[in-house]
């Protein structure tokens, strides 16, 4: 299946992926400024940017073939679609128990402090052709491609 990969040697740690991810998942998907300034809550990205002295990394859900989060979910809100391979959270069903946060071996699920539901990368499904973090990465450090592991 298609996954987002990080060429960390070219990640500049700018965090634009976070900004665009947060925006496109906000009430104002096409306007960064409105997303951050008009929305009553600060928009949340669904990915993680890590930085240290020598490098940085932008990571999002790996869409595992053996998804620990799906197995751990107590409500059945997290499912892996057999057709697309996409692991997605039904935010309507999620009760924010955080069990998936512990389950995810990469620690790539976060809790929306406002909605109290789990947030994870949805590959911009139904929003964009290619995940926005990939298209907006200023240094092409994120790529979206089929890759057999």
Partner 1 sequence: MAVSWRMPEYKINRDKDRCIDCQVCVNQCANDVHTWDEDLNRVVSDESLCVNCHRCIVYCPTRALNIEKWPTAFKDNANWDSGAIKQLYAQAESGGILLTGMGNDRPYPVYWDNLLLNASQVTNPSIDPLREPIEIKTFLGRKPARFDPSSDEFPPQMELDIPVLFSAMSFGSVSLNVHKSLARAASELNVFWNTGEGGLHRDLFEYAANTVVQVASGRFGVDAEMLARAAAVEIKIGQGAKPGIGGHLPGEKVGNEVSRTRMIPPGTDAISPAPHHDIYSIEDLRQLIFSLKEATEYSKPVMVKVAAVHNIAAIASGIARAGADVIAIDGFRGGSGATPLRIRDNVGIPIEFALAAVDTRLREEKIRNQVSLVAAGSIRNSADVVKAIALGADAVYIGTAALLALGCHLCQKCYTGKCNWGIATQNPRLVSRLNPEIGSRHLVNLLRAWEHEIKEMLGGMGINALESLRGNRLMLRGIGLNEKELQIMGIKAAGE
Partner 2 sequence: MKYLIIGNSAAAIGAVEGIRSQDTDGEIIIVAGENFHTYSRPLISYLMAGKIDRNKMYYRPRDFYRRHQVQFYAGEKAVRIIPREKSVHIAPSNLNLDYDRLLITAGGTPVRPSALEGNYDNLLYFHSWDDMTELSARLKSDHPSRIVVVGGGLIGLKAAESLKLRRQQVTVIEAGSYLLNSVMDAEGAEIIADYLTARGIEIMVNNPVVRVEGDTVINHLFLQNGRRIDCDLVILAAGVKPNLNCLEGAGLDSENGILVNQSMQSSLSDIYAAGDIAQVYDESEQEYRLMPILPEAYRQGRTAGLNMAGGNFLHQGQVFNSIPLLGLNIASAGTNSVTDTDLEIIQRRDGQYNYRRLTLQNQVLKGFIMIGDLNRCGILRSLIQQQTDVSAIKNRLLENDFGLLDIQKLGKHDQGREGPFCQ
User: Can you give the binding site for partner 2, defined by CB under 8 A?
Assistant: 3, 5-8, 48, 50-52, 55-57, 59, 62-66, 68, 71-72, 74-76, 93, 95-99, 101-111, 116, 147, 149
- Smallest gap from Cβ 65 to partner 2, in A, equals 7
Q: Report the C-alpha gap between 120 and 146 in whole angstroms.
A: 20
113 binds partner 1 (CB under 8 A): no
Taking the complex as a whole, how short is the minimal distance between the CB of residue 138 and partner 2, in angstroms? 19
Q: Whole-angstrom Cα distance, residue 42 to residue 97?
A: 22
User: Is residue 4 within 8 Å of 141, Cβ to Cβ?
Assistant: no
Cα 53 versus chain centre, distance: 24
Closest distance to partner 1 from the beta carbon of 63 (Å): 25
Q: Which of residues 3-62 bind partner 1 (CB under 8 A)?
A: 7, 9-16, 18-20, 32-33, 36-37, 51, 53-56
Question: Which residues neighbour 21 within 8 Å (Cβ) at sequence distance 6 or greater?
Answer: 45, 46, 47, 60, 121, 132, 133
How far is the C-alpha of 120 from the C-alpha of 88, rounded, in Å?
Answer: 8
Binding site for partner 1 (CB under 8 A): 7, 9-16, 18-20, 32-33, 36-37, 51, 53-56, 138-141
């Amino acid at each position: 299946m298609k996954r987002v990969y990080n060429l960390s040697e070219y990640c500049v740690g700018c965090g634009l992926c976070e900004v665009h991810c947060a925006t496109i998942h906000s009430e104002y998907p096409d306007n960064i400024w409105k997303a951050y300034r008009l929305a009553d809550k600060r928009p949340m990205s669904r990915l993680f940017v890590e930085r240290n002295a020598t490098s940085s990394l932008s990571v999002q859900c790996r869409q595992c073939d053996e998804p620990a989060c799906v197995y751990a979910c107590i409500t059945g809100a997290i499912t892996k679609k057999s057709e697309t391979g996409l692991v997605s959270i039904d935010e309507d069903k999620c009760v924010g128990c955080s069990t998936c946060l512990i389950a995810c071996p990469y620690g790539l699920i976060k809790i929306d402090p406002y909605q109290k539901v789990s947030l994870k990368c949805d590959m911009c499904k139904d929003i964009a052709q290619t995940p926005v973090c990939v298209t907006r990465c200023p240094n092409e450090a994120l790529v979206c491609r089929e890759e057999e592991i």
